[in-house]
Amino acid sequence: MNTHRKLFGTDGVRGVANEEPITSETALKLGRALAHVFRNSSGRHRRILIGKDTRLSGYMLETAMESGICSMGVDVWLVGPLPTPAIAFLTRSMRADAGVVISASHNPFQDNGIKFFSREGFKLDDETERRIEALVFDEGEIAKHRARPDDIGKAARIDDALGRYLVFLKSCLPRSVAFDGLKVAIDCANGAAYKVGPEALQELGADVVALGVEPDGKNINLNCGAVHLDAIRETVLRQHCNVGIALDGDGDRVMLIDERGGLFDGDDVMALLGRKLAAEGRLRGNAVVATVMSNFGLELALREAGVRLIRTEVGDPAVAREMRLNSYNLGGEQSGHVIFMDHSTTGDGLISALLVLAHLAESGRTLSELRAMRRVPQVLENVRVRNRVPFAEMPDVQRIIADAERRLAGTGRLLVRYSGTEMLARVMVEGEDGVQIKTLAQEIGAAIQKYAGAQSD
């Protein structure tokens, strides 16, 4: 077998459209490999569901995946442009054997990606990804398993997929909840939620101002959506909206804007709804799962309500893994990727927004009044390094970190880690005293520089 470079990253296969690995050829091979891995677990006829966002390259990749899957004797259901969490939901509810999402999330249109969901709606485990990867690079092995002419798979378009997801979204809220009297701006990033986002809000009674709902294949995430908030903020203030909702290109993340133009990110959502669920006795394990990047203010807000914050490494797969392992039902990232496991198996920007809006409607308060956490000041010191010497092998660094942790005990925190992508050590310190945290970050940075620092240019 060819030991080719690794295909799968932390969130599926990603790259520039029409360059390896995001080509028709590799998409076809991925389709074949996926179909084979999910076909041979029982005798019954298999079905795989494919959804995508609004990128120009989605047509090309969807067709190639469909062809590869059908060639292995597996049927395909096509649902067209829908948010990533909608594909996870439909894969589960329609009893498909796997789901495929063709999207590169918040990246520009030139990029694209392919990620897979299991029949339960979770991202595939590493072992299954390895099996798929091995088959992609082993032409001989996969060729042995082509379907006979009378067993080739069929493809069908599911016309009511959007309607099914809409019904599901509304089912996440109590029947008594309506958004009558709320004026809501929503920016769909010219992406996968461009139809379903505004429709969900309208059906629940909101007065909707919709932005980023005219995709042309090239304008996804272009100066709009969750990573470009100027347009939604300006709209909320100019049109006197109660709330602004900004989704990313594949709809699994959300940033909210309050009526004053203030940012309400993933940490804010977890603080508000974590405390609400705990007060109602519905927060499992009395804990919220977040990554090491979440602000210390989230920890303080939850602690005040008697709720534990459990931290994982960066990335929503790490959060989801911890949640499944210990049956927690709320977790997420500061970036707006929040998982409500009672409703969905993955982060869903629309569910997050609807749950916040429901709380707003029930309480009769504004979003700025509902803010449940105060962000603790943070400084970040980046140190360019020659090599990643383990911090445990730097006695001075260890001593300064231990001393800093004693001084911050209960009022702040620090995080020292190497960047995964650059030759940098990152020192992040949070605390109430701005001067103190800057000094601590600089002291730790200087000590790391002494041991592992690169010569400055």
3-class secondary structure, 19 = coil
DSSP 49-115: EEEE-S-TTHHHHHHHHHHHHHHTT-EEEEEEE--HHHHHHHHHHTT-SEEEEE--TTS-TTEEEEE
For 131-190, the DSSP string reads: HHHHHHT-HHHHHTTPPPGGG---EEE-TTHHHHHHHHHHHTS-TT---TT-EEEEE-TT
Contact between 428 and 380 under an 8 Å Cβ cutoff? The reply is: yes
Cβ-based neighbour number of residue 388 at 10 Å: 12
Strand 155-157 versus strand 424-430 pairing type: unpaired
For the chain, the straight-line distance linking the first and the last C-alpha, in angstroms and rounded, comes to 44
DSSP per-residue letters across 176-221: T---TT-EEEEE-TTSTTTTHHHHHHHHTT-EEEEES----SS-TT
Which one of the listed residues 57, 71, 103, 105 is annotated catalytic? 105
For CA atoms 325, 330, 333, 336, give the dihedral sign: positive
Q: How buried is 148 (Cβ within 10 angstroms: 0-12 exposed, 13-18 middle, 19+ buried)?
A: exposed
DSSP 231: H
In DSSP terms, which residues pair with 414 in a beta bridge? 429
Answer yes or no: 105 catalytic: yes
Which run of H or E residues covers position 332?
strand 330-332
Contact, 191 vs 212, CB < 8 A? Answer: yes
Q: Do residues 228 and 255 lie in contact, with contact meaning Cβ atoms separated by under 8 Å?
A: no
Catalytic residue IDs: 105
